[in-house]
Amino acid sequence: MEEQITMRGVGISFGGAQALRDLTFSVGRGEIFGFLGPSGAGKTTTIKLLTRQLTADEGEIGVFGEPVEKLAGGAFRRIGVLSDNSGVYERLTVQQNLELLAQLRGVDKARVQELIEAVGLADARGKTAKKLSRGMRQRVMLAGAVLHRPQLLFLDEPTASLDPGTTAGIHALLRQLNAQGTTIFLTTHDMEEADKLCGRVAFLHHGHIEECGAPEELKLKYAKNEIVALLADGRRVSAEKTAEGLDRIRRAAGSCAILSVHSQEPDLEELFLQVTGRKLA
Amino acid sequence: MKTHCTRTWVLLRKDAADMVKNPNMLIMLLLPVLFSWIYTFIGAETGEHLTPAAVLTLATLMTLALVPLSLLSTAIAEEKEKNTLRTLMLTGVTAGEFLTSKALATELSIAVVSTATFFVAGAPVTALAPYLAASLLGALPLLLLGAVIGIASRDQMSTGIAAAPLALLMMLPAMFGAAGGVIGFIARLMPTTAVLDLVYAAMELQALDLVSSMLVLAVWSVLSAAVFALIYKKKRLDN
């Protein structure tokens, strides 16, 4: 698979504090890659390094197969970025903000209308950005980041502070973009979001990747070799995932009916805790 | 090249429109016009009104001190403070395109304000073109200094720390230079005094020494460009 992003042995410090160390991963064309970690883990710093907003102290960073240092205006036209330091013009309306970005990127105005609908801002298109809620601003910035159907999209917590309905709409938009060939690098706290959207995820802890892989693979890798039975009297009985384990459950149930038996697979939240020893939130 | 021009044009239209939409900037632009109107009433009781050239002199000083220094620096700092500069840079806008559009929008606003003060002062229409040329030319070193303040400042509030004293330095010696002595000597070295000489010449009044005025402006332009280059190299645009 053609690599869109590569990081090899990347490290950066701020005032003596190591923010990222030996960061190594790659993202192939057409992937949705989730970068998961608690606040302060280094997710935003990674996006800044990949978009040349920061320079690494060590290691190699590549975007579109070229060293990131060579990332110039032309390459930025193939990239979309939504980060915590994106901004909107407060005295311009939603529509004017997006039209400005469309003009700068040479995108047709019809695309602005399409995106205003897609991010659920049709009723607010004439409102100045100053009057928008945080979530609505986030949607304007997201629309701005995907206006030009970028080849590579960096999203830093794209659905933070959005309601479930809008989040679902944003997810649909991201899937649509991905189906059209956009590679997406996404940071999130939301494990459900990562599970739904991402083909692969990386767990970032104290500036280092602790685990990386497809969510299903990771769940199997860290799955407990255990089954749990729910009995009619409300009891839960767990045992080893073997024939002997199943016999043990039957014996424990006795005359009580067994309502269900299922294996114990951790979700991403539990996995993160298991791998890093700390919770995400 | 075409892309650079297109993007600069898009930014220029946005920046020019924003100067009217932003109440702080609008007030800065209206002040010289308002004051030139007030100056026309000076001496009304005795019948000794200020001449159009005197009104224009005071209004030009105010325009040059306020607009390129305060307005330009605030406009640059606001883009940094509100993260819109980052948004622009991530769309591929270059520092050159960004600064060019800001400088052109400021020059445009100086032209509009100067034209308004010119007519409020009651100056003869024939002097308009040379007067505008003098104002716009004289604004160049101050534009560079305004850009330096904007680049060096973290937010809008901190631009005032450098812009306010510099604005006073540009205004006061030029206003009181006629007193002679040390003030008179300092005034001869200021770009604003040089611009006033050009304004006098535009009004077909006797200018002190146009060659030395042009030389002063040239030296200030070169020095301001050097300071700009130094600060830009050190801080970059989005520090």
pTM of the complete model: 0.83
Residue A55 touches partner B, C-beta closer than 8 Å: no
Query: Do A77 and A175 share a structural domain?
Result: yes
Other beta carbons within 10 angstroms of residue B136's beta carbon come to 16
B198 CB burial (10 A radius; 0-12, 13-18, 19+): buried
List the single residue in A with minimal CA-CA distance to B5.
A104
Percent of chain B at pLDDT above 90? 67
Q: What is the pLDDT of residue A278?
A: 73
**How far is B228 from B32, CA to CA, in rounded Å?**
27
Contact list, B83 vs chain A (CB under 8 Å): 85-87
Containing domain of residue A244, as a range?
Answer: 224-264
Contact list, B19 vs chain A (CB under 8 Å): none
Query: Do A9 and A66 share a structural domain?
Result: yes
Is residue A121 domain-resident? yes
Is residue A276 domain-resident? no
A102 CB burial (10 A radius; 0-12, 13-18, 19+): buried
Query: Do A260 and A162 share a structural domain?
Result: no
Query: Do A257 and A154 share a structural domain?
Result: no
Is residue A94 domain-resident? yes
> Cβ contact (<8 Å) for A100 and B86?
no
> Cβ contact (<8 Å) for A73 and B92?
yes
**How far is B32 from B28, CA to CA, in rounded Å?**
8
Q: What is the pLDDT of residue B205?
A: 65
- Tally the domains of chain A: 2
Query: Do A246 and A127 share a structural domain?
Result: no
**How far is B145 from A253, CA to CA, in rounded Å?**
84
Q: What is the pLDDT of residue B239?
A: 56
Give the pLDDT mean for A237-242.
Answer: 85
Q: From the CA of B105, how many Å to the nearest CA of chain A?
A: 16
Pick from A226, A222, A229, A237: which is nearest to A267 by CA? A222
Query: Do A237 and A183 share a structural domain?
Result: no
Query: Do A42 and A21 share a structural domain?
Result: yes
Query: Do A203 and A144 share a structural domain?
Result: yes
Query: Do A133 and A38 share a structural domain?
Result: yes
Residue A152 touches partner B, C-beta closer than 8 Å: no
Is residue A102 domain-resident? yes
**How far is B150 from A93, CA to CA, in rounded Å?**
25
Residue A234 touches partner B, C-beta closer than 8 Å: no
Using an 8 Å CB-CB cutoff, list residues of chain B that contact chain A.
3, 6-7, 10-11, 14, 18, 21-22, 82-88, 90-94, 238
Is residue A274 domain-resident? no
pLDDT digits (tens, 9 = 90+) for B197-210: 888 888 876 656 78
Complex ipTM value: 0.85
**How far is A169 from A219, CA to CA, in rounded Å?**
27
Which of B18, B87, B93 minimises the CB distance to A86?
A: B87
Indicate which CATH number applies to the domain containing A170.
3.40.50.300
Q: Answer for the pair B10, B92: CB distance below 8 angstroms, yes or no.
A: no
Structure tokens at A87: 């901004």
What's the whole-number average pLDDT of chain B?
90
List the single residue in A with minimal CA-CA distance to B97.
A104
What's the whole-number average pLDDT of chain A?
89
Query: Could you tell me the maximum CA-CA distance found in chain B, to the nearest angstrom?
Result: 61
Contact list, A74 vs chain B (CB under 8 Å): 92
Q: What is the pLDDT of residue A265?
A: 73
Q: Answer for the pair B172, B194: CB distance below 8 angstroms, yes or no.
A: no
Other beta carbons within 10 angstroms of residue B31's beta carbon come to 16
Query: Do A108 and A78 share a structural domain?
Result: yes
List the single residue in A with minimal CA-CA distance to B18.
A91
Does residue B164 sit in helix, strand or coil? Answer: helix
Contact list, A51 vs chain B (CB under 8 Å): 90
Which of A83, A90, A104 minimises the CB distance to B82?
A: A90
Banded model confidence at residue A272, pLDDT cuts 50, 70, 90 = confident
Is residue A281 domain-resident? no
Spatial neighbors of A112 by CB under 8 A, at least 6 apart, are: A95, A98, A99, A102, A143, A147
Could you state, in order of their start, the residue ranges of all structural domains in chain B? 2-235
Query: Do A163 and A184 share a structural domain?
Result: yes
pLDDT digits (tens, 9 = 90+) for A158-179: 888 788 888 888 898 899 999 9
pLDDT digits (tens, 9 = 90+) for A19-71: 999 999 999 999 999 999 888 889 999 999 999 889 999 999 999 999 998 87
List the single residue in A with minimal CA-CA distance to B237.
A53
Is residue A273 domain-resident? no
> Cβ contact (<8 Å) for B86 and A90?
no
Contact list, A76 vs chain B (CB under 8 Å): 90-92
Residue A204 touches partner B, C-beta closer than 8 Å: no
Is residue A245 domain-resident? yes
> Cβ contact (<8 Å) for A105 and B82?
no
List the single residue in B with minimal CA-CA distance to A148.
B91
Q: What is the pLDDT of residue A224?
A: 75
pLDDT digits (tens, 9 = 90+) for B222-232: 999 999 999 99
CA dist list (Å): A250 to A230, A233, A236, A246: 11, 14, 12, 6
Which of A76, A83, A141 minimises the CB distance to B92?
A: A76
Residue B235 has pLDDT above 90, yes or no: no
